[in-house]
Structure formats: C-alpha cells, structure tokens
Structure 1
C-alpha cells in the first residue's frame, strides 16, 4: 500500500507477482530506488526481487534461479542503486548488478 503522508489516505495498493508455486508471498522489505525515486525495490518471500513503479508495474526483476530454498528473506540497495543485495533461505547473499541484471557475486553467510 502507498499512503499519502498529508491526508493519511491509501492512494495505491498492489502486489508483486505471485511465486511460481502459487499463493501469496509476504513482503519482507520495500525501498525507494536511488536511481529513480518513482521506482521501488520489493523483496517478498520468493526467489525473485522486483523493481516496480509506484503504480505496481514490474520494471525489472532479479532471481536466485532456485525453485526450492532460494527464497529471499532480506534485501537492501547500494546508495547509488548500482547493486541489489539479497539474502536467501539457502544462507547465500546474492549481489545483482542493476545495470547488467546479472548475478555478479554469491557469498555464503552465517
């Protein structure tokens, strides 16, 4: 949901695409995208993370490529929006390049 800070009215409601296995996935985090403040980065408990418009349209997505155990549980964006970092249930940190859309680094985390 997107809220108007002045009126406290809900001005927009949308959901990221559903997981491949069906059903809904809980949203873990939402960030304003530094390169374009009309875009947000949405991390929900699926194997994909999305850059979406404030109207709910998917602009770009990044995926762990895993059907089992690769769901993201946390994410953050570098200050200039060049990198998107995600931590998966598989205890890996995924580092995606916004520019290329590719997985650039994969690192085990505790």
Structure 2
C-alpha cells in the first residue's frame, strides 16, 4: 500500500500549511489559538485528529494552516469537500476538536512549546 503524501508548505515566517493536494483549498474552516510551538508538528497533530473525526465525509481533503506570530499560533483547520457538505455539523465538530483541552495539551506537548 502506498504511503499517503502530504504537502507541507512553509511561508518563511514560521507559518505552515499542510494539505493533501495543492493548491490548498478551504471550503470550510474554523480557527483557534494556542501558545507558540513548532508549526509543522502542530499542524500534523491537528490534521490527524481532524482526519480521524471526518474521514467518513465523502470527498474530504483536510487542510491545516498555522500562522505563528511569536507568542501564539493561530490554527485554521478545515479543507475541501468534493460532494455534499453538512456545513453546520462539520464546523461544530471541528470547533469541538480545536477547543478540546485534552487534545490541545497533547498538541502543545508534542509540538514543543517555545
């Protein structure tokens, strides 16, 4: 079985976008902020949790964008969907994921707080 390929695009200022296809496209997205940490590791952790929750969504291609301002990382998580999109349900589920204190603690621990 072929290993899934993810595109990791760095912006040169500490930000990163992780997506399945290029160009990354957001049909829907939610945002959250966490303390500054390694943007690539944070994006991969968020993407994994988002994929676990939404893998049943037909045609879903996850995208996670991290913008690092020095003190905080702004997470924009979402993606594109090739098919019907139950927007309210999906956005609500992603908000729960991004604001879950247990997940956030795990992400920050894994991504190494600066």
Instruction: State the TM-score, normalizing by the size of structure 1.
Output: 0.30
| Structure of higher RCO (CA pairs closer than 8 Å, 6+ residues apart) | 2
> Please, what TM-score do these two structures have when normalized by structure 2?
0.29
Q: Which has the higher helix share?
A: 2
